[in-house]
Structure 1
């Protein structure tokens, strides 16, 4: 009887042992299963660290490239600024030179020096550029308003006188007003001078092709196709008709 009790007791212990082992095995499987999914749901710190430092390294590379591009952009802007400053300085210097040239330079149609054919001497004053001062009459010329007049000191025919004046950028004097008539009469001082007056056909014209308007003829005692201003006579009647081949002094007129 006791043996049966012991056997029953041992049998219960074995059943309990098997049940305990089954529970341990199930728990072990459960923990194994849980650990597998836990590793998927909660990645290791190394994964986060690797991802963080990888992203940081990538950002630093992009920053370096951006800084290099910005540096090149700034250098380009600096170069363009310097080029613009150089061009601006060049323009300023050029403008200053043009202004200086305009203040001391030559007129648009510079007039060469008028030479005394007998004395071979320039009677006009030249500036350093080889032209004559603007808005000023040269030495030896007299001025009235915007015209300069040169009273020659040697004699030529009318054609030669006109060619001499024309070659030097002027012409024989045109008496277009009473003011000029009075002025030239006073300057002439009892000498006869060719003026730019001639007859073409039956019409008296000036060298600029204008027909004579107001006239100051002396009388009809002389004949010829070219006109002379005789300062020894009255201002209102001192034009004389002479042969164009005659030799006398002449008056050149230069417009300023």
Structure 2
């Protein structure tokens, strides 16, 4: 009986040591991933310039447009052919992969989009909400929303301008939005 208990105790000690090594390995990997993410963000907003490898920070990543209020960055996705267009869900997923969301339009000046781009507005249980969870308070509907049209596209450079309700499964171009880099944002990342 005593030898069985000793054998089981040794087995448990070996398993415990193996688990401790695995936990330490996972901690190191998590730290490396965190450093990699921080480095990617730093490189995206603060690319190295010149021979001295100095960094110059920008409020938006390369290719993104700074909003007039300087609080947000926009990426206008202009698909070149029908295969590149996306449904509302697909467009939202593309924005999330870019650490952004479909654009939330707070006032008419923010709506600088072109013809027929998905925006971050969707009707759920009969209520129109933005992707950030806020309620629709001001709207620029060209046509009043109708059944089976639970997402919205922005329409500009065509008369009339504003938003049009649309079936979420239709494919369009889209606009992503993320917060512009500020000193507080940069410090929280680093």
State the TM-score bracket (shorter-chain normalisation): 0.5 to 0.7
Give ranges in structure 1 of 5+ residues lacking alignment: 1-105, 114-123
Q: Quote the Cα distance in structure 2 between the aligned partners of 1:173 and 1:133.
A: 27
User: 1: CA distance between counterparts of 2:140 and 2:99?
Assistant: 27
1:127 lines up with 2:50 in the alignment: no
Question: Are 1:139 and 2:53 an aligned pair?
Answer: no
Change (3 A) 1:207 1:221: closer
CA distance in 2, matches of 1:253, 1:225: 20
TM-score w.r.t. structure 2 length? 0.59
Higher relative contact order (CA 8 A, sep 6+): 2
Alpha-carbon shift at residue 133 of structure 1 (Å): 6.5
Aligned length: 132
2:147 counterpart of 1:227:
no
CA distance in 2, matches of 1:232, 1:149: 18
* TM-score normalised by L of structure 1: 0.45
Given candidates 196, 199, 202, the residue that maps to 2:126 is: 202
Q: Secondary structure at the match of 1:159?
A: helix
Question: Which has the larger helix fraction?
Answer: 1
How do 1:69-84 residues align onto structure 2 when only pairs under 5 Å count?
none
Structure 1 residue 212, shift from structure 2 partner: 0.4
In 2, Cα distance between the equivalents of 1:224 and 1:234?
A: 21
Can you list the C-alpha shifts for 1:38-67, whole angstroms capped at 9, x where unaligned? xxxxxxxxxxxxxxxxxxxxxxxxxxxxxx
In structure 2, stretches of 5+ residues that fail to align are 1-35, 49-54, 80-84, 181-190
SS at match of 1:253: strand
Please name the residue that 1:253 is paired with. Answer: 177
Which residue does the alignment assign to 1:240?
Answer: 164
Give the match for residue 77 of structure 1.
none
State how far apart, in whole Å, the 1-side matches of 2:130 and 2:56 are: 28
RMSD: 3.3
Whose strand fraction is larger, Structure 1's or Structure 2's?
Answer: 2
Contact 1:151–1:252 (8 Å) recurs in 2 = yes
1:155-212 deviation line (CA, Å, top 9, x unaligned): 111001001101111100000123212xx14xx2xx2100000000110000001000
Task: Assess, with a 3 A threshold, how the Cα gap between structure 1 residues 203 and 221 changes in structure 2: closer, same or farther.
Answer: closer
CA–CA separation in structure 2 for the residues paired with 1:211 and 1:149:
21
Write the deviation string for residues 134-155 of structure 1: whole angstroms up to 9, x where unpaired.
4422232211111111110221
Quick one: distance in 1 between partners of 2:77 and 2:42? Answer: 17
